[in-house]
């Protein structure tokens, strides 16, 4: 098995047809309903609302975060605001309300947004990269396990090493890292945050930053208001005990806010430093750009060497699109089958490749669950992620799809999945698939666009 | 041979996919989206170098426009921040607008230049912006299988 994993894949050496091919084709034909891409997504994510909302498979402490925010703010509005409006000013619930709205909106955006996941390579791409790597010019050894593959590029007079991801079968772009919890390569990977239950990457970093800054303001605001409330109540010699007895919820809020404000303020400060120097938590913890020659600014090739410009680039830069197209439709099987096709494109083979070796996947998942809940936000995750060696995991663990999907009944899909799994047990061997001709990219493009923009961009389909 | 195909659908019906050529990303300018303009050897007999380079350079300029950090992106970012990012649910971002332009451009290029030469460009967004995938088709006529075998032999010895 190991000797076959890194064998150069020759698409032209494939047989024209094989037993799994008609089986896979029939299965899809029997399905009838056009399936969306999120249903066969290979990473460790869950999708809701027909692919509109995505979270990591392990939601971690997201319910705890939500619960704490809702309970504390709820108690504040119910028990403290009436007294404070009476004795101080009516602006307090307004400011509190605005801060609460910001915290909730940015938390939900951070948790439910695609962090910048890179889709895995198609079999042809992977084969093309393998061909380039195995060129005589490369220095791969002939030992039974090839060394980790790297490619060097020069960015801003700085040499940057691009690593090959054995799971996704791509050379990771700069600043991209593979999250072992979500089993995805994420662009501009910052860290996997258990408190929001998702990775923080290129697409949701600004939401995450907004969340922690607004949360630190909210926590400090509630702390201040509750302190004022208790101080006002204990005035005129009545004492603090009397005040707490009159409003016990305030004491609870005080304790929660006191313990959270330090860590959240600290985290906000740390991320403000990262934003100002255009670094990620991952890079900072690994020490990628510091300690080289003492001049930290010149070490980081992505920094603009200007605090304002860095902040604007990170927080106000253009919003990149999601690359995984979760609501796009899978290519349908109504295109005419052609036996004369020599090289077959296999949209269904992605399912075959991805839906195998569930056993190794289970093995990987079980030790990764326990460190999540015990570790605090930024410190543990990058180390765990950076030390989790994707190249030590054999290529056979390219994940099985559809495991985390909740919106559709899993039973309907399980029998089909097990048939596919038994058919192709070696992911490096590209199954001949369903023998379908390649789909028309124009059709796929317009189906992707029209499915994504269904409610408002129907005129776009006329571009076809 | 190539002039027989009037549109991409005909192209697909009468040909077989011989190989796919992948144009990789060029990271020399950082993480911005930019593709290498190096002319791949598999396309030497299929298309003129200048046309290919022109296509890739135009695509690069589109992506540069999409990712430009300037007045409009700042305005968008600040407005979004002020509305707690709810506005992203209602508004189409600058990036999305440019992606539509790119899609139209690629379709035009396929119809006018690449299709008649038996080639097909796949929009990079379909491949996660990692590569520009160019599918090379061979005529499925009597000489089709032998010509594709010879072209595959040529490309494997590259």
Two structure tokens written together for A193: 């945050």
Q: Strand A158-165 and strand A170-171: pairing?
A: antiparallel
How many of the other CB atoms lie within 10 Å of CB of A456?
9
Contact A230, A247 (CB under 8 A): yes
Confidence at residue A34, expressed as pLDDT on a 0 to 100 scale: 76
Pairwise pLDDT comparison (A49 vs A432), residue with the higher score: A49
**A440 in contact with chain B, both atoms CB, cutoff 8 A:** yes
Q: Tell me which chain A residues have a C-beta less than 8 angstroms from the C-beta of B78.
A: 316
Is residue A282's pLDDT more than 70?
Answer: yes
Task: List chain B residues with CB under 8 Å of A278.
Answer: none
Contact B99 A342 (CB under 8 A): no
pLDDT attached to residue B31: 85
Is residue A323 over pLDDT 90? Answer: no
Q: What pLDDT does A373 receive?
A: 40
Query: Number of CB pairs < 8 Å for A and B?
Result: 148
Query: Is pLDDT above 50 for A27?
Result: no
* DSSP secondary structure letter of residue A67: H
d(C-alpha A157, C-alpha A301), whole Å: 8
Q: Which of A125, A338, A448 sits opposite B22 (nearest CB)?
A: A125
Percent over 70 (pLDDT), chain B: 79
Q: State how far the Cα of B154 lies from the Cα of B158, in Å rounded to an integer.
A: 7
Any chain B CB within 8 A of the CB of A170?
Answer: yes
Highest mean pLDDT pick, A92-106, A283-297, A420-434: A92-106
| Mean pLDDT within A76-102 | 91
Kindly identify which residue of chain B lies nearest to residue A204, measuring between CA atoms: B85
B91 contact A CB<8A: no
pLDDT at A138: 47
| Residues A217-246, mean pLDDT to the nearest whole number | 87
Return the DSSP state at A138: S
Mean pLDDT of A255-275: 93
User: A3-17, A45-59, B41-55 — which one is most confidently predicted on average?
Assistant: B41-55
Question: Which are the catalytic amino acids of A?
Answer: 193
Q: Per residue in A386-398, pLDDT tens? A: 444 444 434 333 3
pTM, 2 dp: 0.70
Tell me the residues of chain A between 329 and 368 that have a Cβ less than 8 Å away from chain B.
338, 340-345
Percent of chain B with pLDDT over 90: 29
The residues, ordered by sequence, that sit 6+ positions from A273 with a Cβ below 8 Å of its Cβ are none
User: Is pLDDT of B141 > 80?
Assistant: no
Q: Is the Cβ of A187 closer than 8 Å to some Cβ of chain B?
A: yes
pLDDT over 90 at A248, yes or no: no
pLDDT at residue A155 tops 70:
yes
Give the per-residue pLDDT at B11. Answer: 56
pLDDT-wise least confident of A40-49, A309-318, A405-414: A405-414
Provide the terminal-to-terminal Cα distance of chain B, rounded to the nearest Å: 25
Residue A210's pLDDT band (cuts 50, 70, 90): very high
Mean pLDDT of A365-369: 43
* pLDDT for residue B111: 92
Residue A360 has a pLDDT of 44
Of B22, B95, B156, the CB nearest to A321: B95
- In whole angstroms, how far apart are CA A10 and each of A14, A15, A288? 7, 11, 37
Confidence at residue A365, expressed as pLDDT on a 0 to 100 scale = 45
Q: Cα torsion for A163, A165, A170, A172, to the nearest 10°?
A: -40
Per-residue pLDDT for A336 more than 80? no
Average pLDDT score over chain A: 70
Short-list A313, A297, A315, CA closest to A305: A297
pLDDT score for A137: 47
The confidence score (pLDDT) of residue B124 equals 92
Per mean pLDDT, which range of A126-135, A251-260, A402-411, B75-84 is the poorest?
Answer: A402-411
Per-residue pLDDT at A265 exceeds 90: yes
Partner-chain contact A442 B148, CB within 8 Å:
no
Cα–Cα nearest to A456, from B92, B98, B94, B123: B92
Tell me if chain A has a CB within 8 Å of the CB of B105. Answer: no
Residue B5 has pLDDT above 80, yes or no: no
pLDDT at A78: 92
Cα–Cα nearest to A54, from A251, A189, A199, A236: A199
Lowest mean pLDDT among A310-324, B47-61, B83-97, B131-145: B131-145
pLDDT at B57 over 60: yes
pLDDT band at A142 (very low <50, low <70, confident <90, very high): low
Say what percent of chain A tops pLDDT 70: 59
**Is pLDDT at B1 greater than 70 in this prediction?**
no
Instruction: Flag whether the ipTM exceeds 0.85.
Output: no
Q: Which helix (H) or strand (E) element contains residue A255?
A: helix A248-276
B28: confidence class by pLDDT, cuts 50, 70, 90: confident
Structure tokens at A18: 């094989």
Instruction: Please give the pLDDT value at position A440.
Output: 46
pLDDT at A97: 94
**Can you give the pLDDT at residue A32?**
63
- In this prediction, residues B138-143 reach a mean pLDDT of 62
- Does residue B80 belong to the interface with chain A, where contact is any CB pair within 8 Å? yes
> Using CA atoms, how far apart are residues B128 and B134, in angstroms rounded to an integer?
15
**pLDDT beyond 50 at A93:** yes
Give how far A248 is from chain B: nearest CA, Å: 32
Strand partners, A226: none
Residues in B touching A330 (Cβ below 8 Å): none
Going A321 to A325 to A326 to A328, the CA torsion angle's sign is positive
- Give me the DSSP letters along A234-252: TTTTT-HHHHHHH-HHHHH
Specify the pLDDT at position A439: 45
pLDDT tens, residue by residue, A169-203: 899 999 999 999 889 999 999 999 999 999 999 99
What is the DSSP annotation of A161-174? EEEEETTTTEEPPT
CA of A400: how far to CAs of A351, A425, B74, B126, in Å?
8, 12, 40, 21
pLDDT category of residue B8 using cuts at 50, 70 and 90:
low
The answer to whether the CB of A412 falls within 8 A of the CB of A22 is no
More confident residue, A12 or A46: A46
pLDDT for the residue numbered A129 = 84
CB contact under 8 A, B120 and A101: no
Q: Judging by beta carbons within 10 Å of its beta carbon (0-12, 13-18, 19+), is residue A360 exposed, middle or buried?
A: middle
Which residue of chain A is at minimal alpha-carbon distance from B136?
A343
- What's the CA gap between A123 and A169, in Å, rounded? 9
């Amino acid at each position: 098995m190991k000797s076959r994993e890194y064998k150069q894949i020759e698409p032209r050496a494939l047989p024209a047809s094989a037993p799994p091919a008609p089986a896979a084709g029939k299965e899809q034909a029997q399905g009838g309903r056009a399936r969306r891409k999120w249903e066969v997504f290979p990473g460790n994510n869950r999708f809701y609302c027909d692919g509109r909302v995505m979270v990591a498979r392990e939601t971690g402490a997201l319910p705890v975060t939500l619960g704490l925010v809702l309970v504390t703010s709820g108690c504040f509005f119910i028990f403290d605001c009436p007294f404070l409006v009476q004795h101080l000013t009516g602006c307090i619930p307004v400011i509190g309300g605005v801060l609460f709205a910001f915290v909730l909106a940015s938390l939900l955006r951070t948790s439910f947004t695609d962090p910048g996941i890179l889709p895995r390579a198609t079999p042809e791409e992977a084969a093309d990269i393998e061909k380039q790597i195995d060129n005589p010019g490369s220095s791969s050894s002939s030992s039974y396990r090839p060394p980790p593959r790297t490619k060097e590029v020069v960015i801003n007079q700085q040499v940057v090493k691009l690593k090959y991801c054995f799971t996704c079968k791509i050379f990771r772009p700069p600043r991209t890292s593979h999250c072992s919890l979500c089993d995805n390569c994420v662009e501009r990977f910052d860290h996997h945050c258990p408190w929001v239950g998702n990775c923080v990457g290129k697409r949701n970093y600004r939401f995450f930053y907004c969340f922690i800054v607004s949360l630190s303001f909210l926590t400090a605001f509630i702390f201040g208001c509750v302190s004022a409330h208790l101080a006002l109540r204990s005035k005129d010699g009545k004492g603090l005990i009397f005040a707490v007895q009159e409003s016990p919820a305030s004491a609870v809020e005080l304790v929660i806010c006191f313990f959270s404000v330090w860590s959240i303020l600290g985290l906000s400060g740390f991320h403000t430093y990262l934003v100002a120097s255009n670094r990620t938590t991952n890079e900072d913890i690994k020490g990628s750009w510091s300690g080289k020659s003492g001049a930290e600014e010149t070490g980081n090739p992505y920094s603009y060497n200007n605090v304002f410009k860095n902040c604007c680039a990170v927080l106000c830069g253009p919003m990149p699109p999601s690359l995984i197209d979760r609501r796009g439709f899978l290519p349908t099987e109504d295109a005419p089958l052609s036996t004369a096709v020599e090289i077959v494109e296999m949209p269904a083979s992605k399912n075959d490749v991805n839906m195998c070796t569930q056993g190794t996947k289970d093995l990987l998942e079980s030790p990764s669950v326990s460190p999540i809940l015990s570790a605090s936000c930024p410190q543990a995750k990058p180390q765990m992620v950076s030390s989790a060696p994707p190249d030590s995991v054999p290529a056979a663990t390219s994940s099985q799809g559809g495991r985390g999907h909740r919106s559709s009944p899993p039973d309907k899909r399980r029998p089909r999945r097990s048939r596919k799994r038994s058919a192709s047990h070696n992911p490096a061997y590209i199954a001949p698939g369903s023998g379908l001709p390649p789909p028309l990219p124009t059709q796929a493009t317009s189906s992707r666009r029209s499915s994504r923009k269904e409610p408002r961009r129907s005129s776009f389909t006329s571009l076809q | 041979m190539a002039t027989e195909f009037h549109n991409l659908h005909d192209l697909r019906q009468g040909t077989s996919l011989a190989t796919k050529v992948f144009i990789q990303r060029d990271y020399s300018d950082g993480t911005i989206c930019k593709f290498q303009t190096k002319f791949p050897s598999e396309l030497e007999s299929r298309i003129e170098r200048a046309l290919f380079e022109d296509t890739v350079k135009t695509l690069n300029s589109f992506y540069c426009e999409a990712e430009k950090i300037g007045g409009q992106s700042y305005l968008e970012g600040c407005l979004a921040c002020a509305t707690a990012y709810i506005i992203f649910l209602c508004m189409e971002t600058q990036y999305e607008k440019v992606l539509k332009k790119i899609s139209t451009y690629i379709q035009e290029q396929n119809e006018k230049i690449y299709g008649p030469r038996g080639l097909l460009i796949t929009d990079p967004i379909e491949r996660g912006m990692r590569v520009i995938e160019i599918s090379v088709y061979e005529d499925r006529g009597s000489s089709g299988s032998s010509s594709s075998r010879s072209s595959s032999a040529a490309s494997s010895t590259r």
